[in-house]
């Protein structure tokens, strides 16, 4: 009972203090409300369960396991999925589109990985970035690549039918994971920083040691005469296997590296991407670390009814009849402070998940991705000292 009374008294005192503090603060500053910034984030999904690479396998099985994974990549038909994702963008027409798992697949025949990989594969077999750009252009949407960051880049042996003879051939398949920021034509970007995290995981697979490098893109985007610092990233995922402690440590290290990147930034920072961390994760994981560093979860400020905002994950083959999204790990976070004011300044937020309704699927019944996209419209106030 005593604690309840104390809480009520504290709330009353705060209610009395806040208007007077706000009035005193407003007398010292000028507040403007610019037109909104519209951002979209979407994990494209490579098309197969990459956790298969974490499973122990003898070297002689490696080319066959990789073949099974690539077969699923083809079955999940990214060109068709890219058109579905572009259709969602067409309805929202974001200023900036942040993409993760923007896969580039290259081929080499015959392969040389088992001989030490002296010549990397260069023949392009699939380019998810080009598919997205083509799909957007086909809908009359003109977007340009503001920045593209290569993250993990791995070349593996694969047993695959030769195009000429149909006979099994030992080739190489090279998979490059990328983060990309697209800007709508007319949006100005500058001051691009692209960096790999120092904290990453490595794991053995079929006698090879695979480094799972991740990183981020940071850039200035000037939208309707206002400049924002935009960051797109894809943090380390966490699975329930034996490598979970290492993944958790890597993810935490990556979050701290992001905080270090923006520690001296005075402009509004908009951090978007697949953080692989939920709001109810314990402190020590990415979401809590970034929230403790001053970032605000804009989904929690959105206007509208209650919505869990789940963004992950559909079945690996993307053929589940009903959506099975059950986690909120894709985010748009904002850090917008003004000296002397005790709270981050976040105005009205409009946000919704996309690509998570049955009607959003491709004609063949595939979900656009194993992640929902997130479209967010931000009205961030501009605060300057009064003259």
pLDDT in tens, the chain (387 residues): 443 333 334 333 333 334 444 455 455 667 777 789 999 999 999 999 887 877 777 888 889 999 999 999 999 999 999 999 999 999 999 999 999 999 999 999 998 888 888 899 999 999 999 999 999 999 999 999 999 999 999 999 999 998 777 789 999 999 999 999 999 999 999 999 999 999 988 887 767 777 889 999 999 999 998 999 999 999 999 887 777 888 889 999 999 999 999 999 988 999 999 999 999 998 889 999 999 999 999 999 999 988 999 999 999 999 999 999 999 999 999 998 776 666 677 888 999 999 999 999 999 999 999 999 999 999 988 776 666
Entry pTM = 0.89
Residue 21 has what pLDDT? Answer: 46
Contact call for residues 332 and 40 (beta carbons, < 8 A):
no
Contact call for residues 40 and 355 (beta carbons, < 8 A):
no
Q: Count CB atoms within 10 A of the CB of residue 192.
A: 14
Residue 152 has what pLDDT? Answer: 92
Which residue, among 247, 298, 290, 97, has the nearest Cα to 179 in the 3D structure? 97
Cα 258 to Cα 216: distance, rounded to the nearest angstrom: 8
CA-to-CA separations, 105 to 132, 153, 368, in angstroms, rounded = 15, 10, 19
Element of type H or E holding 260 = helix 244-262
Residue 171 has what pLDDT? Answer: 94
Cα 169 to Cα 63: distance, rounded to the nearest angstrom: 10
Distance, C-alpha 270 to centroid of its chain? 12
Contact call for residues 132 and 43 (beta carbons, < 8 A):
no
Residue 239 has what pLDDT? Answer: 80
Cα 3 to Cα 338: distance, rounded to the nearest angstrom: 33
Residue 23 has what pLDDT? Answer: 53
Residue 246 has what pLDDT? Answer: 83
33-385 in CATH: which number? 3.60.10.10
The residues with which 216 forms a beta bridge, in sequence order, are: 195, 233
Contact call for residues 251 and 268 (beta carbons, < 8 A):
no
Residue 341 has what pLDDT? Answer: 63
């Amino acid at each position: 009972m005593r604690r309840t009374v104390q809480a009520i008294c504290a709330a009353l005192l705060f209610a009395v203090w806040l208007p007077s503090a706000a009035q005193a603060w407003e007398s010292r500053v000028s507040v403007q409300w610019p037109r909104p910034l519209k951002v979209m984030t979407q994990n494209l999904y490579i098309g197969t369960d990459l956790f298969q690479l974490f499973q122990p396998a003898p070297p002689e099985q490696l080319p066959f396991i990789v073949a099974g994974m690539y077969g699923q990549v083809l079955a999940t038909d990214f060109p068709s999925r890219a058109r579905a994702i572009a259709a969602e963008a067409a309805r929202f027409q974001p200023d900036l589109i942040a993409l993760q798992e923007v896969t580039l697949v290259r081929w080499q025949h015959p392969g040389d990985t088992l001989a030490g990989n002296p010549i990397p594969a260069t023949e392009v077999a699939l380019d998810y970035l080009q598919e997205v750009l083509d799909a957007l252009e086909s809908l009359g949407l003109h977007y340009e690549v503001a920045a593209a960051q290569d993250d993990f880049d791995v070349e593996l042996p694969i047993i695959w039918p030769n195009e000429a003879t149909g006979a099994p051939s030992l080739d190489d398949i090279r998979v490059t994971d990328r983060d990309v920021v697209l800007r709508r034509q007319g949006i100005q970007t500058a001051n691009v920083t692209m960096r790999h995290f120092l904290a990453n995981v490595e794991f053995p697979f079929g006698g090879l040691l695979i480094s799972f490098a991740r990183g981020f893109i940071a850039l200035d985007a000037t939208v309707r005469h206002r400049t924002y610092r935009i960051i797109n990233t894809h943090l380390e995922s966490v699975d329930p296997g034996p490598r979970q402690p290492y993944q958790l440590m890597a993810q935490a290290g990556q979050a701290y590296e992001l905080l270090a990147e923006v520690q001296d930034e005075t402009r509004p920072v908009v951090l978007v991407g697949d953080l692989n961390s939920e709001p109810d994760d314990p402190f020590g994981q990415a979401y809590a670390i970034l929230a403790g560093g001053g970032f605000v979860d804009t989904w929690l400020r959105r206007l509208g009814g209650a919505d869990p905002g789940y963004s992950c994950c559909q079945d690996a083959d993307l053929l589940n009849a009903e959506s099975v999204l059950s986690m909120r790990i894709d985010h748009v976070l904002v850090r917008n402070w003004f000296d002397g004011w005790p709270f981050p300044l976040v105005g009205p937020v409009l946000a919704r998940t996309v690509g998570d309704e049955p009607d959003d699927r491709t004609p063949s019944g595939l979900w656009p991705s194993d992640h929902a996209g997130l479209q967010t419209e931000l009205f961030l106030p501009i605060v300057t000292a009064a003259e």
